[in-house]
Amino acid sequence: MPHLHRNKTEGSSAFLFLLPSLSGFLILSLVPVLGSLVLSLTSWDGLRSLSDFGGAGAFLQDQFVGGAHYAEILGSEEFHRVLRNTLYFILLYLPGILVLSITAALILNRKLPGATLFRVLFYIPVLTSWVAGALVWKWVLSPEYGVLNNLLALVHIQGPGWLFTDTWAMPGIVLASLWKDIGFFGLIILGGLQGISPTYYEAAELDGAGKLQQLYRITIPLLSPTIFFVLIIAVINSIQLFPQVMVMTTTTGISEPRPSTQVLVERIYRYAFRYYKMGYAAAFSWILFVIVFSLTAIQMRLQKVWVHYES
């Protein structure tokens, strides 16, 4: 009995310490999430309050549309277009960020003079505001005055129109995104590299293994849990693509990105805060949640094939 009483006392104390965090989670996260689910079943415009309808019951009676928004979104050409655009970005971005981040981490892991300073400078783009970074890249990718096309002209290559063409607009956004994110993911992978014991490489050198063999037989397998984490975060970030699209490809006078660069989150913003279709935007966001959850679940399943946690 004393033992049971002590467990109850410890449980009560733990609950009291956790109560502030639990309260914040309920008020700031769980309630809004559930509220957005309810809103996705209504035609609310976001401008009228519950008091305008005479209460929650009258609001639901007047605004409830059920799953009509979901059916309309999933059956629309617009949804399939923005989904294709988002997946196209992911297909271009993921290989690039993985290769460049691993390469950068391997370079940063070398014991060179000034390595610490170089790591700090390498991380600066991550700290830069996306709006500022996107404006810089909009200038870099300018067809006439941009740095990139001028460099290509030095080797007698005619640069494309980049953000002004449907073909090259998304690759241009990918370039800016890679520049912004390499520092973040590179330092994560650097942490994974520094967690690999040097004894593996010493044993490999004694067996006559070269640098490439060490990379493919030791570094990559032992780094696979870190690469898996980077992959999860990179996919989620890719699906939430938004600020670079809005800043870099918004058409002057229309204030809307090119059709070839319209993506899921941009459409949610558009319907919620430009067209004032809060219920429709909430349904769009829940479809986005299902997509993110499904892709994450697939990656969690596939990790059993290639991720090695033994060290």
The average pLDDT across 292-307 equals 92
Report the candidate in 43, 105, 94, 49 with the shortest Cα–Cα distance to residue 70.
Answer: 43
| pLDDT interval class at 3 (50, 70, 90) | low
Q: Angle CA(52)–CA(55)–CA(57) in degrees, nearest 5?
A: 125
Long-range contacts of 30-38 (CB under 8 A, 24+ apart): 36/282, 36/285, 36/286, 37/282, 37/286
Pairwise CA distance, residues 192 & 160, whole Å: 38
- Domains, the chain, ordered by start: 2-63 (no CATH), 68-306 (1.10.3720.10)
Q: Using one digit for the tens of pLDDT, what is the confidence trace for 247-276?
A: 998 765 556 788 899 999 999 999 999 999
Whether the per-residue pLDDT at 14 is higher than 60: the answer is yes
Whether the per-residue pLDDT at 109 is higher than 70: the answer is yes
CB atoms within 10 A of CB 141: 25
Which pLDDT belongs to residue 190?
93
Nearby residues of 240 by Cβ (< 8 Å), 6 or more positions away: 265
Pairwise CA distance, residues 288 & 275, whole Å: 19
Percent pLDDT > 90 in the chain is 62
Where do we find the tokens 């349904």? 283
Whether the per-residue pLDDT at 208 is higher than 80: the answer is yes
| pLDDT interval class at 5 (50, 70, 90) | low
Which pLDDT belongs to residue 189?
95
Pairwise CA distance, residues 21 & 18, whole Å: 6
Q: Angle CA(160)–CA(166)–CA(169) in degrees, nearest 5?
A: 65
Q: Using one digit for the tens of pLDDT, what is the confidence trace for 215-228?
A: 999 999 999 999 99
Tokens of 15: 């609950």
The average pLDDT across 159-170 equals 92
Percent pLDDT > 70 in the chain is 94
Pairwise CA distance, residues 264 & 277, whole Å: 15
The average pLDDT across 161-175 equals 93
